[in-house]
């Protein structure tokens, strides 16, 4: 890999990115980004609470329904970690690959594997205190679980005014809709009213926001050719230019069912982005891509820094100043079907590398004339001789040296290699062996070669 690889940690998404009714995890947009930064990229150093309201729609590149989704979440103290956990990523060719912690099965029964502040996998304690109804487990001190009253931090009822869909949400802000419509109008102005939290949370507010332009790929994702999707070069993605924040997400599956996801930030005004092939393959540890789902998302964020909060929470600081980001999101997606199991993309087409003599076991691995390809391995005289030659200086070096050191075994081996029939071996070569020990030396060499080259020499051993 020629591109530098770095690891970074970001605070987890503040919006609820889980699929809503009618969605799948492949097409669900996430808010992304770091909630400690505003949409312009400037750090928001002032201690604050953070509210995130997301209105989005996702639609397929081919004919299909639009799926609306709405979520809301409120964090009492961004700097104090009052929100979600941390996510570690690997940067490959300018795109981000989400990492999964692996502690090599070293965690105890009361621990789970997670990342520490330096993105190193580490075993962390499970909060396992036996709490009463209406209580929740937490850590009042490191590795010391305790119980506290179940508390919420919200902004009361949320009512959207001027949106295409009538929307009113109550904590915990669940949204379900079967409407084939977007919850916002592109470029349209709407309002959100919050009644204010009854306990801890945001005070009453009313804010106006503007919907982002709908994402439209051009040419459509569905028209990208097979060779461009599964070939060796970058994956070209293009769209009608706009003024939002564009994120391209690709979920990759390998032939052995390994999955990985990459995200790439793009310049909306450019109208296009070439997704690096090395990033796509790195998501599945360099394997061949068998299936690929691509989504292109445009976001607009309206940020407000003048809200206030109230109330207290056990063990968590509630910052008096509240920030609010209202995000509108439009996503277009498409799934690409690659080669079947046992096939690989060679010269931009699916090839059965299990039985193709020109691509046996992989692209460009050609069997010599007269040999066959069986289960990804060349078999026949040519393959057997090549494997035998390699074994004589590798796995069977000791047996070969022992036969060469014995004059009669060496003579028999030379004779055997020249014979084309069993009758030749019986009549010409066998008489050269003076005793059983000479024959045993040759047999040891022969058996070692057949063991090391069983597939290549199956018809000769």
> What pLDDT was estimated at residue 430?
84
Sole residue written with tokens 């230019």: 241
210 — phi, psi (to 5°)? Answer: -120, 135
Summary mean pLDDT of the chain: 85
Task: Give mean pLDDT, residues 49-62.
Answer: 96
- Quick one: which of 236, 249, 246 has its CA closest to 213? 246
> Would the pLDDT of 346 be above 60?
yes
Q: Which of 18-22, 333-337, 354-358 has the lowest mean pLDDT?
A: 18-22
> What pLDDT was estimated at residue 86?
52
Q: How far apart are CA 239 and CA 251, in angstroms?
A: 19
Instruction: Go through 257-292 and write b for each residue having 16 or more CB atoms within 10 A of its CB, e for each that does not.
Output: eeebebbbebebeebebbbbbbbbbbbbeebbbbbb
Judge whether 272 and 237 are in contact, CB under 8 Å.
yes
Q: Which of 9-18, 134-143, 357-366, 403-412 has the lowest mean pLDDT?
A: 9-18
Q: How far apart are CA 449 and CA 461, in angstroms?
A: 9
> Would the pLDDT of 42 be above 70?
no
Confidence of residue 11 (pLDDT cuts 50, 70, 90): very low
> What pLDDT was estimated at residue 25?
31
Task: Give mean pLDDT, residues 260-270.
Answer: 96
Task: Give mean pLDDT, residues 122-140.
Answer: 90
Q: How far apart are CA 265 and CA 267, in angstroms?
A: 7
Q: How far apart are CA 231 and CA 346, in angstroms?
A: 8
Judge whether 147 and 176 are in contact, CB under 8 Å.
no
| Residue 157 CA to its chain's centroid (Å) | 36
Of 11-20, 35-44, 371-380, the range with the highest mean pLDDT is 371-380
Confidence of residue 44 (pLDDT cuts 50, 70, 90): low
> Would the pLDDT of 198 be above 80?
yes
The pair of structure tokens assigned to 257 is 């069912």
From residue 6, how far is each of 93, 97, 114 by CA, in Å? 10, 11, 19
Higher pLDDT, 35 or 357: 357
Does residue 10 sit in helix, strand or coil?
strand
Q: What is the percent of the chain with per-residue pLDDT over 90, rounded to a whole number?
A: 53
> Would the pLDDT of 33 be above 60?
no
Confidence of residue 442 (pLDDT cuts 50, 70, 90): confident
> Would the pLDDT of 211 be above 80?
yes
18-22 long-range CB contacts below 8 Å, 24 or more apart? Answer: 20/67, 20/69, 20/70, 20/71, 20/175, 20/176, 20/177, 21/176, 21/177, 21/178, 22/65, 22/67, 22/177, 22/178
Confidence of residue 413 (pLDDT cuts 50, 70, 90): confident
Confidence of residue 311 (pLDDT cuts 50, 70, 90): very high
Judge whether 212 and 296 are in contact, CB under 8 Å.
no
> What pLDDT was estimated at residue 45?
67
> What pLDDT was estimated at residue 84?
46
- DSSP states along 297-354: EEEEEEEEEEEEEE--BTTB---SEEEEEEEEEEEEEEEEE-PPTTEEEETTEEEETT
**Which residues have C-beta within 8 Å of that of residue 328, sequence separation ≥ 6?**
54, 55, 56, 184, 209, 210, 211, 212, 299, 300
Task: Give mean pLDDT, residues 237-256.
Answer: 93
Q: How far apart are CA 417 and CA 428, in angstroms?
A: 12
**What does the pLDDT look like over 270-308, one tens digit per residue?**
999 999 999 999 999 888 888 999 999 999 999 999 999
């Amino acid at each position: 890999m020629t591109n530098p690889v770095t690891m970074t940690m970001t605070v987890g998404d503040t919006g609820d990115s889980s699929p809503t009714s009618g969605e799948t995890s492949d097409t669900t947009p996430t808010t992304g980004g770091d909630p400690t930064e505003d949409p312009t990229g400037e750090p928001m150093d002032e201690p604050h609470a953070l509210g995130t309201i997301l209105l989005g729609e996702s639609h397929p590149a081919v004919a299909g329904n639009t799926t609306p989704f709405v979520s809301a979440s409120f964090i009492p103290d961004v700097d104090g970690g009052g929100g979600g956990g941390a996510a570690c990523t690997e940067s490959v060719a300018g795109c981000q690959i989400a990492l999964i912690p692996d502690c090599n099965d070293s965690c105890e029964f009361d621990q789970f594997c997670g990342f520490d502040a330096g993105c190193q996998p580490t075993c962390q304690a499970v909060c396992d205190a036996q709490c009463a109804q209406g209580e929740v487990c937490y850590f009042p001190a490191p590795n010391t679980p305790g119980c506290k009253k179940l508390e919420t931090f919200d902004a009361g009822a949320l009512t959207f005014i001027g949106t295409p869909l009538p929307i009113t949400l109550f904590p915990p802000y669940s949204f379900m809709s079967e409407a084939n419509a977007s919850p916002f109008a592109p470029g349209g102005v709407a309002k959100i009213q919050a009644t204010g939290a009854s306990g801890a949370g945001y005070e009453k507010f009313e804010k106006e926001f503007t919907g982002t332009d709908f994402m439209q790929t051009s040419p459509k994702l569905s028209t990208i050719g097979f060779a461009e999707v599964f070939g060796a070069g970058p994956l070209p993605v293009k769209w009608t230019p706009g003024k939002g924040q564009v994120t391209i997400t690709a979920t990759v599956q390998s032939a052995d069912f390994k999955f990985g996801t990459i995200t790439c930030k793009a310049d909306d005004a450019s109208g296009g982005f070439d997704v690096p092939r090395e990033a796509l393959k790195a998501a599945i540890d360099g394997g061949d891509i068998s299936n690929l789902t691509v989504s292109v998302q445009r976001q607009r964020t309206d940020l407000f820094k003048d809200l206030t909060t109230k109330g207290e929470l056990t063990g968590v600081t509630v910052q008096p100043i509240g920030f609010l980001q209202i995000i509108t999101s439009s996503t277009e997606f498409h799934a690409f079907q690659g080669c079947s199991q046992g096939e690989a993309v060679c010269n931009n087409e699916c090839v059965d590398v299990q039985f193709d003599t020109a691509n046996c076991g992989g692209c460009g691995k050609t069997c010599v004339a007269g040999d066959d390809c069986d289960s990804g391995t060349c078999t026949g005289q040519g393959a057997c001789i090549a494997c035998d030659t390699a074994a004589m200086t590798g796995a069977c070096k000791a047996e070969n040296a022992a036969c060469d050191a014995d004059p009669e075994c060496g003579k028999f081996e030379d004779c055997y290699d020249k014979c084309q029939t069993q009758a030749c071996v019986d009549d010409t070569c066998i008489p050269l062996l003076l005793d059983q020990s000479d024959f045993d030396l040759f047999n040891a060499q022969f058996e070692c070669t057949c063991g090391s080259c069983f597939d290549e020499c199956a018809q000769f051993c």
